[in-house]
């Protein structure tokens, strides 16, 4: 049985979704919806119907599933139209541009039972999966502290797309949201965040650099630094070798320390003592917990197919995606108001 998937938004990531769908034996591209003239030519080349509006496309094509890869502000109306028609959707991250919009998607999905998968692709990545397995198997013992980095240098041309320099984007909402989601997935729910942000390097209204102190509900403490204006090999985009547009630079970007052992991602070294009663005066043994070599975005598509067929619950539901968005927005609020901001206040505010 072939799963027919329609695409809303054939831009940068949308075209990657097309390649993935076309390359998968279990799926076909049912149609493209995008108002841009370039997308008309693309649909012609691919031999699929083209629409400029999502509602007529969903009604005419009746796809099994839909991918929402439109600008953030349009995720909610497109996702709601899919849910309304019983069509499972993969909504690119962030789930929406605001918690108010995200709440509408959560309510519609939960009331109707139509599944929404949010496109936090890292959860499908072999390194994050291996880390999750090690944590769940108790290999690290109870987690104590975590520390991570996303430090890379974007080219100036990247910021010619003005929306990337304005409120609602910047390194926090474009990139940090992935790190926050991975931390929530691996460590647990975030209780509160303190943060400093800076726009000193690029001079935009949005931050180019941020540092975070995080308290998780389970008592684990974490720190994280991020910048899109610093040269370094310490970012998941490099270390995982799984990103779509970046070279591989093997190494670590995330450090998870527990009572029994520590794990670094993406090099996947597990550090432990030889005996249970040993401590900081004993040498550590280095084991290896590699991923399975699978491809993150292919894994995400396969999971989405299972969600469409109602064979799996979304790994990142609308509610989960909303919490990741709330924690990410909490970073900006914490920095602006110079205080600890809780996830619960973010979710209650909207
Ligand atoms: N998970 C990832 O790896 C990843 C990577 C990049 C972008 N994204 C997310 O994907 C989304 C798209 O980002 P992008 O970089 O591809 O943007 P983009 O600007 O390159 O593409 C967006 C496309 O949507 C089209 N569009 C606009 N309004 C539309 C509407 N109402 N209906 C249908 N199409 C419409 C535009 O014409 C454009 O072709 C964003 O939410 C972004 O955060 C995710």
pLDDT digits (tens, 9 = 90+) for 264-320: 999 999 999 999 899 999 999 999 999 999 999 999 999 999 999 999 999 999 999
pTM for this model (two decimals): 0.96
Q: Are residue 148 and residue 270 in the same domain, yes or no? A: yes
Please check whether residue 52 is in contact with residue 35, taking contact to mean a CB–CB distance below 8 angstroms: yes
Find the range with the poorest average confidence among 118-122, 141-145, 346-350: 346-350
Q: How far is the CA of 96 from the centre of ligand 1 (A)?
A: 12
- Residue 309 belongs to a domain: no
pLDDT digits (tens, 9 = 90+) for 203-246: 999 999 999 999 999 999 999 999 999 999 999 999 999 988 89
DSSP string, 16-38: HHHHHHHH-TTEEEEEEE-SSHH
SS3 content of the chain, % helix, strand, coil (to 5): 40, 25, 35
Within a 10 A sphere around the Cβ of 140, how many other Cβ atoms?
A: 22
Which of 114, 134, 167 represents a domain boundary (last residue)?
Answer: 114
- The ligand 1 atom at the shortest distance from the C-alpha of residue 35 is 37
Kindly indicate the confidence band of residue 169, based on its pLDDT and cuts at 50, 70 and 90. confident
Question: Phi and psi (nearest 5°) for 123?
Answer: -65, -15
Which of 92, 114, 136 represents a domain boundary (last residue)?
Answer: 114
Cβ of 127 below 6 Å from ligand 1:
no
Pairing relation of β-strands 221-227 and 143-151?
parallel
Query: Which residue, judged by its Cα, is nearest atom 37 of ligand 1?
Result: 36
CA distance 234 to 204: 23
Integer Rg of the chain from CA: 21
- Residue 23 belongs to a domain: yes
Task: Quote the domain boundaries for residue 99.
Answer: 3-114
Q: Are residue 7 and residue 134 in the same domain, yes or no? A: no
Percentage of the chain with pLDDT > 90?
A: 94
Q: How far is the CA of 14 from the centre of ligand 1 (A)?
A: 6
Cβ of 10 below 6 Å from ligand 1:
yes
Q: Are residue 131 and residue 249 in the same domain, yes or no? A: yes
Q: What residues have CB less than 8 Å from 161, skipping those under 6 apart?
A: none
Query: Which residue, judged by its Cα, is nearest atom 32 of ligand 1?
Result: 34
Q: Are residue 193 and residue 80 in the same domain, yes or no? A: no
Q: Is the dihedral of CA 241, 246, 247, 252 positive or negative?
A: negative
Pocket mutation for ligand 1, best pick of 31, 34, 55, 304 (most atoms within 8 Å of C-beta): 34
- The ligand 1 atom at the shortest distance from the C-alpha of residue 119 is 1
Q: Are residue 127 and residue 209 in the same domain, yes or no? A: yes
- Residue 187 belongs to a domain: yes
DSSP reduced 3-state for 350: coil
Q: Tell which phi-psi region holds residue 260, choosing left (phi > 0), alpha (psi between -120 and 50) or beta.
A: alpha
Q: How far is the CA of 78 from the centre of ligand 1 (A)?
A: 12
Kindly indicate the confidence band of residue 350, based on its pLDDT and cuts at 50, 70 and 90. low
Bridge partners for 27 per DSSP:
3
Q: How far is the CA of 72 from the centre of ligand 1 (A)?
A: 7
Tell me which residue of 17, 71, 72 sits closest to 42, measured CA to CA: 17
Tell me which residue of 61, 9, 96 sits closest to 17, measured CA to CA: 9
Tell me which residue of 290, 297, 289 sits closest to 243, measured CA to CA: 297
Number of domains within the chain: 2
Cβ of 141 below 6 Å from ligand 1:
no
Tell me which residue of 262, 133, 264, 122 sits closest to 182, measured CA to CA: 122
Q: Are residue 138 and residue 101 in the same domain, yes or no? A: no
Is 34's pLDDT higher than 70? yes
pLDDT digits (tens, 9 = 90+) for 19-28: 999 999 999 9
pLDDT at position 72: 86
Cα 197–Cα 203–Cα 206 angle in degrees, nearest 5: 50
Q: Are residue 106 and residue 129 in the same domain, yes or no? A: no
Q: Are residue 91 and residue 138 in the same domain, yes or no? A: no
Pocket mutation for ligand 1, best pick of 9, 90, 170, 316 (most atoms within 8 Å of C-beta): 9
- Residue 322 belongs to a domain: no
Which of 73, 88, 114 represents a domain boundary (last residue)?
Answer: 114
Structure token pair of residue 152: 């890379």
Q: Are residue 102 and residue 159 in the same domain, yes or no? A: no
């Amino acid at each position: 049985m072939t799963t027919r998937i329609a695409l809303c938004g054939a831009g940068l990531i949308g075209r990657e979704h097309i390649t993935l769908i076309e390359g998968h034996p279990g799926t076909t591209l049912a149609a493209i919806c995008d108002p841009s003239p370039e997308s008309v030519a693309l649909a012609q080349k691919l031999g699929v119907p083209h629409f400029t509006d999502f509602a007529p496309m969903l009604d005419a094509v009746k796809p099994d599933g839909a991918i929402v890869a439109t600008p953030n502000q349009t995720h909610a109306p497109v996702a709601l139209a899919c849910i309304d028609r019983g069509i499972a959707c993969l909504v690119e991250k962030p789930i929406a541009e605001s918690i108010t919009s995200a709440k509408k998607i959560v309510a519609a999905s939960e009331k109707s039972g139509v599944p929404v998968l949010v496109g936090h692709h890292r959860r499908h990545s072999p390194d994050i999966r291996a880390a999750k397995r090690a944590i769940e198997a108790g290999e690290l013992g109870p987690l104590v502290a975590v520390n991570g980095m996303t430090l890379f240098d974007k080219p100036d041309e990247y910021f010619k797309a003005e929306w990337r320099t304005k409120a609602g984007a910047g390194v926090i909402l474009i990139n940090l949201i992935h790190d926050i989601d991975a931390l929530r997935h691996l460590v647990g729910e975030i209780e509160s965040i303190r943060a400093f942000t800076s726009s000193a390097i690029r001079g935009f209204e949005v931050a180019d650099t941020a540092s975070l102190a995080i308290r998780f509900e389970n008592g684990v403490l974490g720190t994280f630094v991020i910048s899109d204006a610093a040269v370094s090999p310490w970012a998941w985009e490099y270390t995982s070798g799984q990103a779509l547009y970046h070279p591989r630079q093997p190494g670590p970007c995330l450090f998870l320390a527990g009572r029994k052992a520590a794990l670094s991602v993406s090099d996947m070294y597990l550090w432990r003592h030889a005996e249970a009663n040993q401590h900081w005066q004993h040498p550590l043994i280095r084991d290896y917990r590699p991923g399975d070599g699978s491809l993150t975005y292919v894994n995400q598509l396969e999971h989405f197919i299972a969600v469409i067929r109602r064979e799996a619950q979304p790994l990142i539901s609308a509610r989960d995606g909303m919490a990741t968005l709330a924690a990410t927005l909490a970073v900006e609020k914490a920095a602006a108001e110079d205080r600890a901001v809780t996830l619960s206040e973010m979710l209650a505010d909207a």
